[in-house]
Amino acid sequence: MPYPIASLPYPFGRRLRQLLSPTELLSLQIASGSLENNEHLLPIQTYQSVPQLGIRKLDDDTVELKWFQDNKGYERNGSNVYNGKYLLLESLDESNLSDPIFDYVWLENIPTLALDDCTITESFLTKLSHKLVKVSDLSVYSWSDGQFFNDGEKFSLIFETFPLIEGCDFKYSLVKGWVKHMIDYGKTNLKELCIIDNNPWNLFCFTAAEMHQFVKVR
């Protein structure tokens, strides 16, 4: 059923468009159905469906958004909102997740997420999961020697913050005891897990019984 925008108090209805981000406005216009009686929501927010999206922090600490097709990158076009199936976040930290550039990406529809050289903390993952609620495939990459989490944080936090994950490709520095973390967490939706770590002691720090239990409870 269309949302009854016309029934809102007049002053609020007049200002509603100004109070919304581009993605919020697009969602509300769609939910409202016909805009014939909702002229306060006009003009129509335009959007573009693209194969891949990328958001990265540049050397001057600004954050840019590009979209990709056939291995070619394209600059963001005006006030368009972008909708895609794949999003790459590059060199970001928690503070960058509040950048206005995210208002131009329809994040709630993106199923595939890749993190490349991001500063990943519990707060980073939690904040990101509130934006991307339908992620089912996650890739985590880093070329640094830094540890994935601080001491005391668990590998299973990935699955606590993104519970719908079915595929995970992890090329980073593991924390010790990652299999035990997953056993303690319990059942996930995982169908495929690929882990690459340069430190074999972190990668293989589990017993045969623990690995059996991990596969069993998965």
Radius of gyration of the chain (CA): 21
The reported pLDDT for the residue numbered 201 is 87
- Distance CA(89)–CA(91), nearest Å, equals 7
Residue 51: count of CB within 10 angstroms of its CB: 11
What distance in Å separates the CA atoms of residue 149 and residue 147, rounded to the nearest whole number?
6
Share of the chain above pLDDT 70, in %: 87
| Torsions phi, psi for 124 (to 5 deg) | -60, -50
Give the domain 48-217 fold: 3.80.10
**Which residue type occupies 108?**
E
What pTM, to 2 d.p., does this model score?
0.86
Both tokens of residue 168?
Answer: 């995970």
Judge whether residue 3 has pLDDT over 60. no
Q: In this structure, what are the phi and psi dihedrals at residue 140, rounded to the nearest 5 degrees?
A: -125, 120
The secondary structure of residue 23, as a DSSP letter, is H
pLDDT, position 33: 73
Q: What is the pLDDT of residues 97-142, one digit of tens each?
A: 999 999 999 998 899 999 998 888 888 999 999 998 899 999 998 7
Q: Which residues contact 122 (CB under 8 A, 6 or more apart)?
A: 149, 153, 157
Chain segment 143-178, per-residue pLDDT in tens: 665 556 665 678 899 999 999 999 999 987 788 889
Task: Identify residue 24 by its one-letter amino acid code.
Answer: E
Q: Is the pLDDT of residue 191 over 90?
A: yes
- Give backbone dihedrals phi and psi of 208, rounded to 5 degrees, phi first: -60, -35
The rounded distance, in Å, linking the Cα atoms of 92 and 80 is 22
Give the range among 16-25, 84-93, 165-174, 195-204 with minimum mean pLDDT: 16-25
Lowest mean pLDDT among 1-5, 26-30, 81-85: 1-5
CA nearest to 130, candidates 90, 95, 161:
161
Average pLDDT over residues 23-32: 82
Question: Quick check: 92 pLDDT over 90?
Answer: yes
Q: What are the helix (H) ranges across 33-172?
A: 122-131, 157-161
Residue 32 reports pLDDT greater than 90 = no
Percent of the chain with pLDDT over 90: 50
Domain range list for the chain: 1-45, 48-217
Instruction: Compute the mean pLDDT over every residue in the chain, rounded to the nearest whole number.
Output: 85
Given this model, what pLDDT does residue 1 score?
46
Query: What pLDDT was estimated at residue 151?
Result: 59
Strand partners, 116: 90, 141
